């Protein structure tokens, strides 16, 4: 099997053609397209950009909220000189499931809307001709998938998504599509692990190929080769290694080749950063030095293009994070586009990488019930759907780690977001996931999950599996908000005193905290939703953080306002952003800039 999650690279042995652009598009509400031959000819289609969500491009509500089957179609040309190579189609993501057809022949199926997949079409394409590429996608939700939800039918017969999560269920081909010509024998995967030494660093590597020929691995600093080794496993010894650090990223070029005599059978190139990351004595250590995490929970979300990859927005986001003094973000609540990790590698940002395990708390107002403590206990992990959910969860976790394991920016894995984890089935569900993450990752990064408000130190059955504890807490917003902020602070301290008893030397970070704020809303004295109240809340919350030495990070919710399912608690989306959806600062951004640019990198380092 030649499946590979390596990022597409053009090299001396590999060729790429990007297929992004305007495709043809059609809804298929009756799911009749396959039998009707739509894989060969898409009727009544309209133009649709790829990559992008289709939802916000329409002006009628039925199209924006469409739920069910939908089709994309384009044509691609295969050069005659590619004959003799393996021809592979590669999708960065299709949300949430896809069936792919080439010239009417089904070549791939994929479940999961946030990770890449490919299809080898060598024996199906026509060379020196145009070929038809069709994608049948579906955005329905269920309790066996990640993220979780359900699909219901309206009185007029239309389907509608009912997510158990608090972000909009955007759908479409969200990330780049590539046509690749690859050698028959090729590099399928590689992994690295780092050790710092007195004279530099050592990089243990493993290369996976699909053939018998010998492999060499070289490391370059610019045009200078600084280390080399041979074999599918080995060690690169780097003298005077330049380390990858926060806001001081240093990247080397890794060159992997397969040889047959003097000929190069395959060549794959990538960029890596030499760094170590570990937890020791309750502290996060980057290259052996303490680092305090400060930054954001985020979303892939922007006006018009929805969740589709948009590089100008990505660039703007990183510039804003640098301006405000952040050093870290969580890929809430799903793995992001690979290009975002590449930019984090280049800019020196730390990433907590999260699998799309969100909505594991059945409630039509998950964000409210979870945080007010008035949601019914659903026993989410004791359902008939649990075995299928766990299988899909393991598959998504495996692909995320396989895809992202070589990024220096990735420092930890988040295995779930706000699951209902106080019932009897929690431990049986959590244990194999945490074991799988440890087994798959050669760097043994720390593992965590985010703990919702109703999971307390003495009731959460999942927290014992985490290498560090991640709390989502909203004292002063969903709990005891408004004029009772003093009570919120007291209740917050009470809970934190409880966590101090169960951490057993582990660090704790906050992966969510914040309030909604309508941009431009001011009120003196403050009221909830005003900028003044948001700042008062943040000052109180930060004072609680600073009181506890074991708090080793703060990731505010959210980086920017984002779209959600409409409802009486959401004014055209979630407004907890420190920046607007158009990426302009709210008042709170200046509060964070003042705090984060003055905190030392090793804030709260262990006192001697």
Which residues pair with residue 206 across a beta bridge? Answer: 191, 233
- Residue 467 and residue 448 in contact, taking contact as beta carbons nearer than 8 Å: yes
The pLDDT of residue 364 is 41
Band of pLDDT at residue 603, cut at 50, 70 and 90 = confident
**How many CA atoms lie within 13 Å of 191's alpha carbon, on the beta-carbon side?**
14
Band of pLDDT at residue 387, cut at 50, 70 and 90 = very high
CA distances to 3, 96, 176, 396 from 118, rounded to whole Å, are: 7, 15, 12, 15
pLDDT reading at 371 higher than 50 = no
Q: Do 265 and 284 lie in a common domain?
A: no
Band of pLDDT at residue 362, cut at 50, 70 and 90 = low
- What domain range is 266 assigned to? 187-275
Q: Do 192 and 297 lie in a common domain?
A: no
Task: Tell me the average pLDDT across 111-120.
Answer: 96
The pLDDT of residue 607 is 47
Distance linking the first and last C-alpha atoms of the chain: 54
The H helix count followed by the E strand count for the chain is: 9, 32
Task: Tell me the average pLDDT across 144-162.
Answer: 95
Q: Do 367 and 422 lie in a common domain?
A: yes
Share of the chain above pLDDT 70, in %: 96
pLDDT digits (tens, 9 = 90+) for 407-461: 999 999 999 999 988 888 899 999 999 999 999 999 999 999 999 988 899 988 8
**Annotated catalytic residue: which of 140, 143, 354, 512?**
512
State both tokens at 439: 């087994």
- What is the rounded CA–CA span in Å between residue 307 and residue 300? 5
Q: Do 264 and 322 lie in a common domain?
A: no
Q: Do 243 and 297 lie in a common domain?
A: no
pLDDT digits (tens, 9 = 90+) for 519-536: 889 999 999 999 999 999
392, 396, 398, 402: CA torsion to nearest 10: 160
Q: Do 450 and 535 lie in a common domain?
A: yes
Which residues pair with residue 49 across a beta bridge? Answer: 22
Among the residue ranges 153-157, 403-407, 604-608, the one predicted with the least confidence is 604-608
Mean pLDDT over each residue of the chain, to the nearest integer:
94
Task: Tell me the average pLDDT across 140-149.
Answer: 95
The pLDDT of residue 44 is 85
pLDDT reading at 367 higher than 50 = no
CB-based contacts of 537: which residues, under 8 Å, 6+ apart? 476, 477, 485, 514, 515
Q: Do 304 and 215 lie in a common domain?
A: no
The pLDDT of residue 141 is 96
Residue with tokens 């408004």: 482
Q: Do 243 and 290 lie in a common domain?
A: no
**Annotated catalytic residue: which of 65, 338, 418, 489?**
418
The helix (H) or strand (E) run that includes residue 215 is: strand 215-221
Burial class (CB within 10 angstroms; exposed 0-12, middle 13-18, buried 19+) of 422: middle
pLDDT digits (tens, 9 = 90+) for 20-46: 999 999 999 999 999 999 999 999 889
pLDDT reading at 374 higher than 60 = no
What are all long-range contacts of 578-583, with beta carbons under 8 Å and residues at least 24 apart?
A: 578/296, 578/324, 578/514, 579/320, 580/519, 581/301, 581/302, 581/303, 582/303, 583/313, 583/316, 583/317, 583/320
Q: What is the pTM of this model?
A: 0.95
- Residue 291 and residue 245 in contact, taking contact as beta carbons nearer than 8 Å: no
Please tell me the total count of domains within the chain: 3
The pLDDT of residue 363 is 55
Residue 329 lies in a domain: yes
The pLDDT of residue 379 is 79
> What does the DSSP assignment read for 421-482?
-SSTTHHHHHHHHHHHHHHH-TT---EEEEEPTT--TTT-SSGGG-SSEEEE--BTTTBS-G
pLDDT reading at 229 higher than 50 = yes
Residue 64 lies in a domain: yes
Residue 572: CATH number of its domain: 3.20.20.80
49, 311, 592, 490: CA torsion to nearest 10: 50
pLDDT digits (tens, 9 = 90+) for 478-511: 999 999 899 999 999 999 999 999 999 999 999 9
418 among known catalytic residues: yes
Task: Tell me the average pLDDT across 181-191.
Answer: 98
Band of pLDDT at residue 372, cut at 50, 70 and 90 = very low
DSSP-derived 3-state class of residue 208: strand
Among residues 158, 182, 206, the one where a domain terminates is 182
pLDDT reading at 149 higher than 60 = yes
Count of CB atoms situated within 10 Å of the CB of 520 = 10
Task: Tell me the average pLDDT across 211-229.
Answer: 98
pLDDT reading at 248 higher than 50 = yes
- Give the residue from 192, 262, 261, 187 showing the smallest Cα distance to 233: 192
Band of pLDDT at residue 368, cut at 50, 70 and 90 = very low
- Asked whether the CA dihedral 520, 525, 528, 533 is positive or negative, the reply is positive
Among residues 149, 182, 215, the one where a domain terminates is 182
Task: Tell me the average pLDDT across 4-11.
Answer: 95
Residue with tokens 């499946």: 3
- Residue 263 and residue 296 in contact, taking contact as beta carbons nearer than 8 Å: no
Q: Do 196 and 162 lie in a common domain?
A: no
Residue 603 lies in a domain: no
pLDDT reading at 89 higher than 90 = yes
Task: Tell me the average pLDDT across 71-94.
Answer: 97
Task: Tell me the average pLDDT across 178-187.
Answer: 98
């Amino acid at each position: 099997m030649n499946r590979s999650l390596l990022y597409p690279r053009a090299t001396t042995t590999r060729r790429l053609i990007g297929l992004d652009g305007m495709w043809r598009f059609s809804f298929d509400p009756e799911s009749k397209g396959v039998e009707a031959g739509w894989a060969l000819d898409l009727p009544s289609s309209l133009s649709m950009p790829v990559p992008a969500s289709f939802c916000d491009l329409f002006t009628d509500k039925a199209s924006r909220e469409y739920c069910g089957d939908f089709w994309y179609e384009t044509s691609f040309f295969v050069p005659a000189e590619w004959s003799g190579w393996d021809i592979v189609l590669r999708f960065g993501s299709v949300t949430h499931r896809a069936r792919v057809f080439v010239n009417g022949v089904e070549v791939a199926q994929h479940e999961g809307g946030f990770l890449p997949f490919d299809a080898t079409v060598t024996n199906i394409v026509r060379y020196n001709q145009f070929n038809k590429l069709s994608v049948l996608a579906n955005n329905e939700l269920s309790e066996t998938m990640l993220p979780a939800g359900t699909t219901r039918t309206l009185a007029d017969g239309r389907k509608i998504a009912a997510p158990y999560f608090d972000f909009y269920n955007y759908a479409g081909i969200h990330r780049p599509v590539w046509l690749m010509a690859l050698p028959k024998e090729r590099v399928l995967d590689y992994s690295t692990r780092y050790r710092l030494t007195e004279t530099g660093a050592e990089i243990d590597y493993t290369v996976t190929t699909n053939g018998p020929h010998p492999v060499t691995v070289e490391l370059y600093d610019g045009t200078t080769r600084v280390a080399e080794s041979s074999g599918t496993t080995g060690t690169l010894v780097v003298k005077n290694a330049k380390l990858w650090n926060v806001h001081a990223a240093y990247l080397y070029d890794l060159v992997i080749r397969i040889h047959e005599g003097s000929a190069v059978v395959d060549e794959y190139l990538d960029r890596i950063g030499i760094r170590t990351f570990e937890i020791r004595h309750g502290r996060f250590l980057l290259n052996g030095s303490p680092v305090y995490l400060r930054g954001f929970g985020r979303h892939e979300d922007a006006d018009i293009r929805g969740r589709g990859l948009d590089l100008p927005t990505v660039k703007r986001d990183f510039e804003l994070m640098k301006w405000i003094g952040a050093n870290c973000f969580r890929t809430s609540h799903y793995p992001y586009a690979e290009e975002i990790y590449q930019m984090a590698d280049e800019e020196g940002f730390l990433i907590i990488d999260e699998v799309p395990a969100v909505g594991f708390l059945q409630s039509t107002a998950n964000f409210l019930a979870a945080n007010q403590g008035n949601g019914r206990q659903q026993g989410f992990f004791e359902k008939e759907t649990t075995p299928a959910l766990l299988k899909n969860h393991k598959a998504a976790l495996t692909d995320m780690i396989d895809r992202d394991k070589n990024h220096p920016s990735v420092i930890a894995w988040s295995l779930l977001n706000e699951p209902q984890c106080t019932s009897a089935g929690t431990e049986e569900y959590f244990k194999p996931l945490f074991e799988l993450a440890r087994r798959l990752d050669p760097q043994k990064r720390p593992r965590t999950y985010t703990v919702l408000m109703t999971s307390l130190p003495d009731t959460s059955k999942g927290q014992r599996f985490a290498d560090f504890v991640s709390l989502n807490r909203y004292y002063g917003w969903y709990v005891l908000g408004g004029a009772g902020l003093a009570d919120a602070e007291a209740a917050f301290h009470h809970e934190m005193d409880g966590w101090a008893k169960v951490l057993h030397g582990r660090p704790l970070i906050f992966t969510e905290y914040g309030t909604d704020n309508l941009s431009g809303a001011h009120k003196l004295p403050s009221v909830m939703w005003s900028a003044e109240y948001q700042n008062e809340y943040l000052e109180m919350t930060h004072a609680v953080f600073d009181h506890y030495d074991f708090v080793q990070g703060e990731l505010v919710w959210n980086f920017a306002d984002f779209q959600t399912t409409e409802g009486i608690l959401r004014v055209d989306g979630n407004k907890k952003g420190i920046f607007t959806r158009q990426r302009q600062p709210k008042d709170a951004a200046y509060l964070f800039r003042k705090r984060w640019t003055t905190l030392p990198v090793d804030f709260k380092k262990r006192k001697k």
